[in-house]
A and B are shown apart, each in its own frame.
Chain A
């Protein structure tokens, strides 16, 4: 056998190992099958591009993210229909919205469904995030999926913020005014960039047009990109195992079920039920349009953001932050969001079971309860500054109640397990040595600091670049740009290095490269 023969044989084997659409069985019978086969061969419709799902995933909680996407699709359809009539200018925004309401067939229906589905999208995204928090879906190897999901959550809030202004009602204008006020209180690199991005220099007309562009072009494009990234990662990593772990899952539930038709039909059922719930709510509580914005009418309204930002609004109204200033309050909010974003690097334990993570579950429950309390409280007290004692009493009381509730629930479950003769849940054992854990903690903290520096640097870069374009060349702007670029480079290198160290610590690279293990000696 010559070398050419061997190479040809190898190429044949390689070709055979990768299935193509041409390899799929096809037996055209009638004209319909022939047409279907034509499309199938060219588009690869029957090519197995989505992996099968385990039986335990046939549960609505596993598909909260998919329902969020369904809400996004409904938003896209209803929004596109409304775009046909809406005019994004202060003079015509309200009248065109009113025209959709009063004169367009299904107009009020479209507006109402668009609004309630937007609310549902935010609620579903939040539920999806909190479910992920409680069952620790962000554990290795799904850290990047969690970060992408969190970014998608921020974009969803951005949709709410930008879309709320578009009808140009007095309520929406006032609410947006509160949001823009918060942005101006941020440190200068952020505020300069964000103010340029969302407001511009051309008054109301510029602001409305920018909000409209962000709402219908930029944010959907960003969300779709993030969605594709997340779908790719989901396909690569698969659906996360149940909270109790795969070991305790019955064999029947581990069985794989085909993505089509079983999982697809299940998703269609969930989507249909979700859609019908939205329709029912829209029919029972149809939207009524508040009055048009004008400075005279605005004076009669107290500025208040929409419900999903009420918790931030209420934090800003606490007396302690009124005194310390808006930047301090916003820093607290930003810190909460950064902690959520970087959760996979903060929680390095390997246990996923809710029963073994009481402190972690309690923290999550406190977070949800405080958000709910702050939102309701903010709705009930528009424009009132909250005294320190009252704030401490309500927020502290809520936290205390949640802690007590969680402790009692855990005790009841522990007793029930004992009385049923089951083994007590063993305390989670640390999987790494103390020295390594301390190094992990330091790495995570340095990582947070570096990300903060990177964020500042990015904002500085953009704001100085914008300044150079708008104001022309100036030495101070060039200095800022150079310094920001240097800061960005340093922080990116630092982040890459720390990610690498974390990877080393988890053991995957440890055996391969010993030289980087300085200071990471395991006992």
Chain B
């Protein structure tokens, strides 16, 4: 049971780390002297922060040997997807 929790947690952390790397890559490619560029910068930074919060949550749950709250993880993933899409709409 514990090893299953651990495996799921490691996969989730990997996923969120990958999202952080992608958003950081985008952050450095933006022109930040115009309104759209600055808006996208804000959104990718927000993605980065949500991913960071999720990694922290997964770590806490793993450390205390607790089951992850599926609603929270699902909500976090949805927020990241919405943010990514919002960056294209801007």
Binding site for B on A (CB under 8 A): 102-109, 112-113, 261-262, 265-266, 268-270, 272-273, 275-277, 279-280, 282-284, 286
CA distance in complex: A277, B56 (Å): 17
Q: Quick one: given A109-B42, A283-B42, are A276 and B60 in contact (CB under 8 Å)?
A: no
When C-beta atoms are compared, the residue in chain B nearest to A58 turns out to be B60
Residues of the A chain whose Cβ atoms lie less than 8 Å from the Cβ of B43: 279-280, 283
A109 touches B41 (CB 8 A): yes
**In the bound complex, how far is the Cα of B43 from the Cα of A112, in angstroms?**
13
Quick one: given A261-B63, A279-B43, A280-B43, are A286 and B53 in contact (CB under 8 Å)? no
| A–B Cβ pairs within 8 angstroms, 20 of them | A102-B33, A108-B35, A109-B41, A261-B60, A268-B56, A272-B50, A272-B52, A272-B53, A273-B50, A275-B49, A276-B45, A276-B46, A276-B49, A276-B83, A279-B49, A280-B42, A283-B40, A283-B43, A284-B39, A284-B86
Contact of B90 among A108, A109, A283 (CB under 8 A): A283
Q: In whole angstroms, what is the CA distance A266 to B56 when docked?
A: 8
Cβ of B90: which chain A residues have Cβ within 8 Å of it? 283
Interface residues on B, range: 20 to 34
Report the nearest B residue to A113, measured CB to CB.
B42
19 more A-B contacts (CB under 8 A) besides A262-B63, A280-B86? Answer: A106-B32, A106-B41, A108-B38, A109-B42, A268-B52, A268-B53, A268-B56, A269-B56, A275-B46, A275-B49, A276-B50, A276-B79, A279-B49, A282-B39, A282-B42, A283-B46, A283-B90, A284-B39, A286-B35
Bound-state CA distance A265–B59 (Å) is: 9
Consensus secondary structure, chain B interface:
helix
**Which residues of chain B come closer than 8 Å to A108, judged between CB atoms?**
35, 38
In the complex, the answer to whether B53 meets A109 with C-beta atoms within 8 Å is no
Name the CB-closest residue of A to B90.
A283
Name the B residues within 8 Å of A283 (CB-CB). Answer: 38-40, 42-43, 46, 86, 90
Q: Which residues of B contact A (CB under 8 A)?
A: 32-33, 35, 38-43, 45-47, 49-50, 52-53, 56-57, 59-60, 63-64, 79, 83, 86, 90
- Distance in angstroms between the alpha carbons of A269 and B86 in the assembled complex: 22
Tally of A-B residue pairs with Cβ under 8 A?
79
* Secondary structure dominating the interface of A: helix
Report Cα–Cα, A282/B43, bound state, in Å.
9
Question: When chains A and B are docked, how far (Å) is the Cα of A104 from the Cα of B32?
Answer: 9
What is the chain B residue whose CB lies nearest that of A110? Answer: B38
- Kindly list chain B residues whose C-beta atoms are within 8 Å of the C-beta of A277: 46
Cα-based distance from A441 to B32 in the complex (angstroms): 60
For the complex of A and B, the 10 pairs showing the least CB-CB separation, nearest first, are: A276-B46, A272-B53, A283-B42, A279-B46, A283-B39, A109-B38, A276-B49, A279-B42, A272-B49, A269-B53
Residues of A contacting B38 with CB < 8 Å? 106, 108-109, 283, 286
- How many Å lie between the Cα of A280 and that of B64 in the bound state? 32
- The smallest C-beta distance from A67 to any residue of chain B, in angstroms, reads 13
| Contact between chains at A262 and B41 (CB < 8 Å) | no
In the complex, how many angstroms separate the beta carbon of A63 from the nearest chain B beta carbon? 14
Contact A279 B45 (CB under 8 A): yes
Please give the distance in Å from B9's CB to the nearest CB on chain A: 14
Q: Report the separation of the CA atoms of residues A373 and B10 in the bound assembly, to the nearest whole angstrom.
A: 50
Instruction: Given A262-B64, A272-B52, A279-B46, check contact A105 B40 (CB 8 Å).
Output: no
B32, A273: Cβ atoms closer than 8 Å: no
Give every chain A residue within 8 A of B64 (Cβ-Cβ).
Answer: 262
Closest-CB distance, A478 to chain B (whole angstroms): 58
Q: How far is the CA of A104 from the CA of B83 in the complex (A)?
A: 25
Contact B56 A272 (CB under 8 A): yes
Contact B42 A273 (CB under 8 A): no
What is the CA–CA distance of A109 and B35 in the complex, to the nearest angstrom? 8
Interfacial chain B residues near A270, Cβ < 8 Å: 53
In the bound complex, how far is the Cα of B90 from the Cα of A266, in angstroms? Answer: 32
A108-B37 Cα distance, complex, nearest whole Å: 10
Q: Looking across the interface, which residue of chain B has its beta carbon closest to that of A268?
A: B56
Chain B proximity of A59: nearest CB distance (Å):
14
| CB closest residue in chain B, given A106 | B32
Residues of B contacting A273 with CB < 8 Å?
Answer: 49-50, 53
**How far apart are the CA atoms of A165 and B53 in the complex, in Å?**
36
Tell me the minimal C-beta distance from A442 to chain B in angstroms.
51
Rounded to whole angstroms, the CA-CA distance of A282 and B59 in the bound complex is 29
Most buried by A among B35, B40, B47, B79: B35
Across the interface, do A265 and B56 meet the contact criterion of CB distance under 8 Å? yes
- Which of B39, B64, B86 has the most chain A CB atoms closer than 10 A to its own CB? B39
Residues of B within 8 A of A109 (CB): 32, 38, 41-42
Query: Which chain A residues lie closer than 8 Å to B39 at the CB level?
Result: 282-284, 286
